[in-house]
Structure 1
Amino acid sequence: MGIKNSTTTFAQSWGSTQGRLVRVEVLVLFSALIWILVEFFGSLRRRYNHGFFRFFVWAVYTLFTVLGPYTIGLLQDGPFRDQTFVLWGTILLVTQLSADSISVYSIHDIEQRKRMVVQHVLQIILVLWLILNCKGHNKSYSATIWIFWIHSVVLTYRKSWSLSDASKKGGLLKQSKVVADYMMIEHLQIPQDLNPSTMEGYSYIFQGEEEMASQLPIAPEYRVRFIESTFIMTIDSIWRSIESQSFRNEETKIIMKEVGLSFSLFKLLKRRLCGYQIGEAGLAKTLNFVLHGLLSGEGNYVRAFRVIETELAFLYDFLYTRLYLTVYHGIYKVVIGLFIVVIVTILNSIWGAFSRHYHRSNLEQRVHGTNVTHCVTIVLLIIVLSMSTLVTKGMGTRWMIVDEICNLSNPDWTPYSYTGHLEIYWQRALGQYSLLLNFDYHPWNVLTFLSLGLVDATREGQKAGKNIMLTDELIVRVLSGFKERNGQLEDGLSALDRHQLGSQLSWACTLPTHTHKILIWHIGTSIAMDGHQVRLTGDHYVAKTLSDYCAYLVAFVPDMLPGNGYDNQRIFDAVVMEARESLTGCDTLSSRCEKLVTMALASDNDSSCRILELGGRLGRELRGVVPEARRWKVLADFWAEFILFLAPSNNVEIHAEKLAAGGEFMTHLWALLTHAGILDRPSTTNGVGGNNSGAPAHDSPVSGI
């Protein structure tokens, strides 16, 4: 009876007016806290790929999209008609629409933009109903309420516009079509003084495709016609304008040129999200842009990678935030003006809340003499004030530079100074996985069960190692090899030939699938390096890091590799189970390596060897490459060559998804190769390659996307 009475008393108090007031106060404050978390962690998620962090951001974002509307519903349904509660409702409405650092959680959410906009419109109508029926005559509160409500209407239009711009059915398709049509003829206008190091002759679009998107295509190709268009600004003209300006230091000029180039390349990369033909693919001019432009001169490999990093940061902002719309479409000054009005009004309201004319609600709640409702109002206004003053912080220096570049022709333009690295755009880490170390990992997947599948299950043997930071050494090793091969993609066999090992190890380059090859060479590399677990440096470091990274892609991101992602996943699962059967009783890495070498010796005459035995055979043969320094050199050259061979892909969606999860090194290579005109890997003798050669020596398009 005691439990029953307590339950009844609790239910009665919870359903009373005071109980509902407590619920509303808690939910309002919690909603404001969630807003802060969304803004803060939304801007960080492209730098971290840890599973728990990603789940936390998803949980916070989900709460953010649900909690505000629910609280507004409580206000609308209850006896909360005083100005104080209506002010709370308008604040919640503004917070729902003010999260610029994360407009959507997943790329798939973009296509649900109409549903999201309808939800916001319904909330605006509910809050308007609250405003029209509110009680109270505090002028400061009335002004704040109406300004917040009007501001929420403006923010709704802004969000609808930004989502439409990023949607394949909206602005993304229209604007990318203009760029695609333009790039089909851009190479036909090559001047005599073509120079990729100065971008002379590379008339890639920088700005203006939005204005051209409304024009109808013209026969016979039914493409957008570009005849002395006054709308189009190109990167070559932008670079000339930057060169003609006087800057306080040379570094500012370099940074502006790099950011401008990144922005122009971002416009080109968007075409792949739509599936448009890449008109410049396969052209010598396009390849020379990367080889003799981005990678021109000694030591420019890190610079080239930085340009690609900034380009992908623009793409991330375009897909997942509203920074693109705020700065690039000129709404920035309007938004700043609105926020100034809001800040002044908030300050006025805070002053009014402390004045003797403060409107006291009929539903006041006091604890030890303190008016809790009054305190909640003050806290909310201070939170909105604090977040409003940080509106420019999340814009990113890159967007401010783009705005500067667009104003170069303005006679009143005053140059700013930029020094050092602009921002940390990505996690800059390589995931690592060792099959021989972790095949016996057995996950419990308790969270998967408790969350009803919201948390993805970890598969058998799927235990990642500690991430390795992406160093300049790795970048230089991969990109320098690409330039030395004159832009030709090789599957690793040429690296073996350079070390006179092609005839001995060529069998390990002619395998049924690329997943076979990755796992066999990964196992072989692990065996060849067994017993050398000291601090990795030089070739040893490059070989092991890239080997474990490719194995990580097989285990965790199979869709980013050639072939069907599900097939890649099933091959990995099968090899894990084979390893458990074959390496039972081997508890150390060394014992497992020796067991595989023994198994390989016993199966030398077996033409249907499994991946494990083939990996053991390769490891045994690699051990025969002496001295050790030569062995590490062979493996480093192989993996640096092979990872670029794996990079081309038509699965654009997986690259776009990974932008919101810390980014992948493979995505950066994929983007770089796209701008070199390499969309697929060349055909190989084993029949698992592509159909587009890496570097044709002519100036006519040979393939599309």
Structure 2
Amino acid sequence: MKKMVSDGYPLCDIDNSATPRLPFVYNLTIFYSEADLRGDEALMVATSILMFALAVLFFILNLFSRFSDGSANLNPSIRIFLSSMLSLFLPATSYLFSEAKNQSKAGHLEDLSIRARTILMWMLLVELLRKKVESILLTAGIQVYSHTVERGARVVWLGSLIFFNLKSTGKKALYGILWVLAAAKLVQRFAIIELAKRSFAYRKNPRLLSAYMAEMLKLPADHHRHLHQKAADEQCSPRSDDGGGQPRWSDALRSCNYAVMGEEDLKREPGPHGYKLVLVKPTPTEGVAAADSDDDSTSYSYIEDVVTVGRIWRLADTNLLLRRDPRLKRLCLSFALYKLLRRRLEDLPITHLEASNCHDLIFNGLLVEKGGRRGERDAAVAVIQVFSDEIQFLCEYYHSIHPVVVASPFFFVHNYILFPIIVLALCLLMLTLCSNGDVHYAFHSFTNDNYVMSTGILKMAGCILRRASRSAPYLFCSIDISITFLLLLTLAYEEVWEVIVFLLSNWFMVSLLCSHTSSATWRTHRVLRRVIPAIVAARNTMMNQHNVRIKQLSVLWFSRPPLPWLPLPLSTTGMAVVPMEAKKLIVERLARASYHAHPLSNGMPVVLSGEHRELSWACDSSGGVAEVILVWHIATSLLEARCPGQKGTQPEPGRAAATALSRYCAYLVAFHPKLLPDDKDGTKFLYAGVKRDLRKLMGWCAYYCSREVDVSNKLLDIAVQQQPQQGTSKVICKGARLGKALIDKYKDGARESVWKLLGDLWTEVATYAAPASGEMHVKAHKEALVGGGEFITVLWAIATHTGITRQEDSVEPPPPSASVSCRV
């Protein structure tokens, strides 16, 4: 049996001086130099190579999964992959450690061998990295506690490996400090979850908001005017206008009392039907001492103290920061709407009165808001961005991997300043305990007992890497060193990135804006007033947050990459920015859908109201909206392929919106049938049949590899046949016939009218699919949040807030609202 050395062995020339003795290098490489690769030790070498591959993949995914994304949630496919890798790390490292420990005992070593300690280091680093794939679950349930208990058991087990196997003071101190970090991170994460679950600002907020909205909507109009006038007097800011006598900011937004932050401090009392809130401070009456009233005012907050949307909008009249960047105040509106929408996802209804109020706020307030040169398209972009940010808040609340949900200046100080100080104190305590109270000896042994610390890890790594190409033992040893380096770099990257995401998150920005609004100190202090502009500048530089994207799919496999060897499935399901034209058309359509005034449809009224009424047969709803989507998608794809736009010329109105929404709706049919109004199984069956018939019609190879012109020629041949070919589905035949009809009209000179029809029709179909059909539909939207949400979820949020429904889904007609005059 090989025997480790403890005093040195001439292996490396680190300096230009004589060859030193480096026991670390010798003890780490001797296993590979004496290993019998034809025996049991071959499995250990193979496991080390597997560990290296896992470490490389883990590092790459961590580095590039957040390269240009400031979100605190993680793509589900990446999360599953990282979770699987971590699950492979534990058994692999446990096996390696067990074997290395047995070899240490067989070699009659007093302490663990260097190889065993290296593997123990991997286990500690992997445990510290586990938070990368674990969500901060603020929702109640046994799952939270089971994850915590499981991770706690692993931390305790690692502690036993350290304190029962390491004898040297310095080695025990080094690994004990890493163990303290893992245990402290576990306690920190558990404390954040528990505090948030018990807080009325986070977990308990939906029920509080329901009571708040019920009481707020009951407030008389004169009290709203009083709050408005009081705030204006305090700020000494008469309403500004745009020069034409029109108010610059909408009254609906200036008087909006939707809570952004601070509602958790309201005076509340639980009752049989929820919480009872006191929003308005009671005036002293006979029999009630004024002192009692003053005491209440110091103990509780009232609606004047809550940071509302109206307070922020009124402050924007005079505040340079909010006037210069209107996106900031709209972000606060998104946060207030996110709080209201959470109730719907947690089985708390949104009343008709509240929906009517929000409808007026969005379509009579936000949509008609004008500032400077804002036009129709900018107003639509602002509306879509508000609800896109709202969905992002929901995604991060339910699936965050960083503690951004509780982001605030107070939390930043405690979590990223005070907590590291406490951990540092615990590390010093661990160092002291390992040396039985002799601090001087502890620091001395910390360096002397760990050869890497005394010699230098970079020098040691350089020594091994220089010889890796000439010696197999050094090659395998370099793999072990690389694994350690990669895990250390990943851990450092994760810690730094967590702070960056926290500081640049929407949550922290909203918290800063609320502090800026509620406190005059934040607006006048020479340091504090510069914090928000600095973070806004960093957000604009580092994060791409202003483009709403949608996924794209071509059923006909059109728009393939120019290089034929690229993987086609990745090219046909891609991402695209939602065209500004599509945003404008969608917001215009939703603004007209005021309850039953202009009910949503599957596109039939759009065709019947124009000059192409003879195409109404393609909107037959007997096969459901999925059939309408596939028929019009095939036709739109054919028109786009046979009649491409001219380079250097302005595209026809409706083309950009039609092509983007067509492919997005086809993507929903293929991958998210639960988000559509039709039955999920029926939609899956329909789509599978269309794909099967297309492959059968064109041949498997031709379907995936043929050029667009070849595929379109075959479909147009089907369109002119009197009898469809056997095996061709009704959807394909209808799509081909419709595509040929559109192409003929386009070539006959109706270019603009054809694309305008398609733009309006796809807008109608997309908005028709948005409102929820029932609780299963709402659940599907909630499940879609794990992947960052879908664009259809953004439209669902607008419909839910404003009370827009499909006519067939309306069980009870809502009360009539005031007439809506929307300028988009």
Q: Which range, TM-score by smaller chain? A: 0.7 to 0.9
Equivalent-residue separation in structure 2 for 1:579 and 1:32 (angstroms): 43
Percent identity over the alignment?
A: 18
Q: Are positions 1:113 and 2:144 aligned together? A: yes
1:528–1:623 contact (8 Å) kept in structure 2: yes
Deviations 1:90-110 (A, max 9, x none): 785465355666424999999
1:346 shift after superposition: 9.4
Equivalent-residue separation in structure 1 for 2:682 and 2:444 (angstroms): 64
Q: 1:656 to 1:162 in 2, by over 3 A?
A: farther
In structure 2, the partner of 1:664 is: 790
1:272 shift after superposition: 2.9
Map 1:429-578 onto structure 2 (within 5 A).
429-437=549-557, 464=572, 466-484=574-592, 488-491=598-601, 492-502=603-613, 505=616, 508-529=619-640, 531-534=642-645, 538-578=653-693
Q: 1:110 to 1:256 in 2, by over 3 A?
A: farther
1:122 shift after superposition: 0.3
In structure 1, the partner of 2:81 is: 59
In structure 1, the partner of 2:245 is: none
Q: Are positions 1:153 and 2:183 aligned together? A: yes
Q: 1:399 to 1:551 in 2, by over 3 A?
A: same
2:352–2:803 contact (8 Å) kept in structure 1: yes
2:716–2:740 contact (8 Å) kept in structure 1: no
Pairing partner for 2:392 from 313, 328, 331: 313
In structure 2, the partner of 1:400 is: 508
1:143 shift after superposition: 6.0
Map 1:363-374 onto structure 2 (within 5 A).
none
> The residue matched to 2:450 in structure 1 has which SS?
coil
2:642–2:743 contact (8 Å) kept in structure 1: no
1:202–1:236 contact (8 Å) kept in structure 2: yes
In structure 2, the partner of 1:191 is: 221
Equivalent-residue separation in structure 1 for 2:129 and 2:576 (angstroms): 36
Q: Which has the larger displacement, 53-62 or 517-526?
A: 53-62
> The residue matched to 2:407 in structure 1 has which SS?
helix
> The residue matched to 2:260 in structure 1 has which SS?
strand
Q: Are positions 1:698 and 2:817 aligned together? A: yes
| Equivalent AA in structure 2 for residue 302 of structure 1 | V
Q: 1:517 to 1:330 in 2, by over 3 A?
A: same
Equivalent-residue separation in structure 1 for 2:379 and 2:359 (angstroms): 16
Q: 1:305 to 1:181 in 2, by over 3 A?
A: same
Deviations 1:349-384 (A, max 9, x none): 9x97999634359xx999997697999878866765
Q: 1:397 to 1:55 in 2, by over 3 A?
A: closer
Q: Are positions 1:682 and 2:682 aligned together? A: no
Equivalent-residue separation in structure 2 for 1:23 and 1:380 (angstroms): 16
> The residue matched to 1:511 in structure 2 has which SS?
helix
Map 1:612-691 onto structure 2 (within 5 A).
612-619=732-739, 621-622=741-742, 625=745, 627-649=750-772, 650=775, 651-661=777-787, 663-678=789-804, 680-683=805-808, 691=811
Q: Which has the larger displacement, 170-179 or 121-130?
A: 170-179
Pairing partner for 1:357 from 436, 448, 473: 448
Q: 1:383 to 1:595 in 2, by over 3 A?
A: closer
Deviations 1:237-273 (A, max 9, x none): 5415743874457324x23312222222221222232
Pairing partner for 1:287 from 339, 359, 382: 359
Equivalent-residue separation in structure 1 for 2:571 and 2:140 (angstroms): 29
Pairing partner for 2:416 from 319, 324, 336: 336
Q: Which has the larger displacement, 194-203 or 111-120?
A: 194-203
| Equivalent AA in structure 1 for residue 384 of structure 2 | F
Equivalent-residue separation in structure 2 for 1:426 and 1:73 (angstroms): 48
Could you say which structure has the larger radius of gyration?
Answer: 2
Equivalent-residue separation in structure 2 for 1:88 and 1:352 (angstroms): 24
> The residue matched to 1:430 in structure 2 has which SS?
strand
Q: Are positions 1:594 and 2:716 aligned together? A: yes
Equivalent-residue separation in structure 2 for 1:56 and 1:669 (angstroms): 26
1:676 shift after superposition: 2.0
> The residue matched to 1:224 in structure 2 has which SS?
strand
1:462 shift after superposition: 12
In structure 2, the partner of 1:227 is: 278
Equivalent-residue separation in structure 2 for 1:330 and 1:32 (angstroms): 36
Number of aligned residue pairs: 644
1:190 shift after superposition: 5.9
Map 1:178-327 onto structure 2 (within 5 A).
178-189=208-219, 191=221, 199-208=253-262, 217-219=270-272, 222-228=273-279, 230=301, 233-236=306-309, 238-239=311-312, 242-243=315-316, 246-247=319-320, 250-252=323-325, 254-280=326-352, 283-297=355-369, 298=376, 299-320=378-399, 321-325=401-405, 327=407
| Equivalent AA in structure 1 for residue 689 of structure 2 | A
Q: 1:526 to 1:300 in 2, by over 3 A?
A: same
1:433–1:551 contact (8 Å) kept in structure 2: yes
Q: Which has the larger displacement, 555-564 or 407-416?
A: 407-416
1:561–1:646 contact (8 Å) kept in structure 2: yes
Equivalent-residue separation in structure 2 for 1:379 and 1:528 (angstroms): 51
1:177 shift after superposition: 2.6
1:643 shift after superposition: 0.8
Equivalent-residue separation in structure 2 for 1:657 and 1:54 (angstroms): 11
Q: 1:677 to 1:152 in 2, by over 3 A?
A: farther
Equivalent-residue separation in structure 1 for 2:167 and 2:54 (angstroms): 24
2:169–2:446 contact (8 Å) kept in structure 1: no
> The residue matched to 2:756 in structure 1 has which SS?
helix
Calculate the aligned-residue CA RMSD, in Å: 5.0
Q: 1:573 to 1:378 in 2, by over 3 A?
A: closer
Long gaps (5+) in structure 1? 1-5, 439-446, 448-457, 604-608, 684-688, 700-705
Q: 1:230 to 1:146 in 2, by over 3 A?
A: farther
Deviations 1:28-56 (A, max 9, x none): x77776664564455469799xx9x9645
In structure 1, the partner of 2:246 is: none
1:301 shift after superposition: 1.2
| Equivalent AA in structure 2 for residue 531 of structure 1 | R
> The residue matched to 1:226 in structure 2 has which SS?
strand
| Equivalent AA in structure 2 for residue 559 of structure 1 | K
Deviations 1:494-528 (A, max 9, x none): 43344244576267254341112212222343455
Equivalent-residue separation in structure 1 for 2:98 and 2:410 (angstroms): 36
| Equivalent AA in structure 2 for residue 303 of structure 1 | A
> The residue matched to 1:513 in structure 2 has which SS?
helix
Pairing partner for 2:159 from 113, 128, 153: 128
> The residue matched to 1:431 in structure 2 has which SS?
strand
Equivalent-residue separation in structure 2 for 1:399 and 1:495 (angstroms): 41
Q: 1:182 to 1:567 in 2, by over 3 A?
A: farther
Q: 1:614 to 1:35 in 2, by over 3 A?
A: closer
Deviations 1:413-464 (A, max 9, x none): 32221358473248844333333457xxxxxxxx9xxxxxxxxxx9xx9993
> The residue matched to 1:434 in structure 2 has which SS?
coil
TM-score (norm 1): 0.75
> The residue matched to 1:67 in structure 2 has which SS?
helix
Long gaps (5+) in structure 2? 1-33, 105-110, 226-248, 280-299, 370-375, 432-441, 465-473, 523-527, 559-566, 819-824
| Equivalent AA in structure 1 for residue 86 of structure 2 | F
Q: 1:477 to 1:638 in 2, by over 3 A?
A: same
